[in-house]
Amino acid sequence: MTQTKPGRLEGRLALITGASRGIGRAVAKRYASEGAQLLLMSRTVGALEELDDEIRVEGGKNPILIPHDLKEMDGLDQLGASLYDRYGKLDILVGNAGSLGPLSPIGHIKPKIWQETFDINVTANYRLIRSLDPLLKKSDAGRAIFVTTGETAKAYWSLYKASKAALTTMVQCYAAELEKTNVRANLISPGPIRSTMREKAFPGEDPLTLRSPEEITDSFVELASVECQINGQVLDIREN
């Protein structure tokens, strides 16, 4: 990806899920610096308010905060109508929120936990697409970006890997449906990033050996830009 320039998202309306920490937080701050009007969704109200304060102090447009748990699917269904009434469109959707689930032999995973992880990683994103697709099509250049992972199978990672593989396939099918529209849908596979999820998976790892979320935001700006015509791709930005 080429180095982005300030203001590339000026005037664009962007919704980011999982915005209160990690990649979502870094993308929110970067989008704000690029001129976007932000809709920030997270279940953690306090962290959203802290992010709101930081964005305002740094000169970004006042974000709209949406405290919401992705497992509350009915609220996602209602989101599209609410945003349509207020804005009439949506330019950018970043489906970043995700759940690691337990790293465990597959036979040890409880059905309830399996379902909850798929609900967050797959079904919630389906409900977001279903709710927000009409708004993205109202934009002159709607852009949908989702965070996934590499497809390599690993012992004990069945739940996370399976749910992300399902997300990837779903988004690529959606992208194929968008070919004759102004909307583009893609995925980013960031690889190891300094985050709470990474720490949970690898508690003994030195986080300072990993890239920070801020170091990967160029790719999110590129895929969100009006100029970008990539569609249905998994952008692998793992370090070589």
User: Rounded to two decimals, what is the model's pTM?
Assistant: 0.92
Q: Which of 31, 126, 156, 160 is catalytic?
A: 160
May I ask the CATH class of domain 13-236?
alpha beta
Q: What is the 3-class SS of the chain, one letter each residue?
A: CCCCCCCCCCCCEEEEECCCCHHHHHHHHHHHHCCCEEEEEECCHHHHHHHHHHHHHCCCCCCEEEECCCCCHHHHHHHHHHHHHHCCCCCEEEECCCCCCCCCCHHHCCHHHHHHHHHHHHHHHHHHHHHHHHHHHHCCCCEEEEECCCCCCCCCCHHHHHHHHHHHHHHHHHHHHCCCCCCEEEEEECCCECCHHHHHHCCCCCHHHCECHHHHHHHHHHHHCCCCCCCCCEEECCCC
pLDDT in tens, the chain (240 residues): 444 455 999 999 999 999 999 999 999 999 999 999 999 999 999 999 999 999 999 988 999 999 999 999 999 999 999 999 999 999 999 999 999 999 999 999 999 999 999 999 999 999 999 999 999 999 999 999 999 997 678 899 999 999 999 999 999 999 999 999 999 999 999 977 776 777 676 677 777 777 888 999 999 999 999 999 999 999 998 764
Instruction: Establish whether 126 is a catalytic residue.
Output: no
